Amino acid sequence: MAWDGKIPFLNGKPLVYVSSWEEKQPDFQWRDNNSFQDVLTFTGFSRGRSAARGVFHSKTHNCSVEMFLTDLAPDMKLLVGGRLEGTFHFCKRGQNFGIKRIA
């Protein structure tokens, strides 16, 4: 199935993976993907079955967002004091969702 570009949110927060349980929740939504300015603060790493990600706190969304290590590697030199500023866009790799810096 081709990705339609929509991003999964539950309780107003972006999800990194969607299961049938999340889709049945009353506050689950598929939202259009839009670029956003943000200041991300690095909080650690996460690992799923198929994806390793850097975890950040998003000032814009006031929640955790995750960036695939493949997308984070070029931005490592831009991290200052554990913070990464820029314009970001949600992306998808396999069944997983994350963000990437586009400017």
Q: What is the pLDDT of residues 6-63, one digit of tens each?
A: 999 999 999 999 999 999 999 999 999 999 999 999 999 998 878 899 999 999 889 9
- Map residue 21 onto helix, strand or coil: helix
One-letter amino acid for residue 80 of the chain: V
Q: What is the pTM (predicted TM-score) of this model?
A: 0.87
Q: What is the DSSP letter of 20?
A: H
1 pLDDT above the threshold of 60? no
What is the rounded CA–CA span in Å between residue 82 and residue 6?
Answer: 29
pLDDT band at 2 (very low <50, low <70, confident <90, very high): low
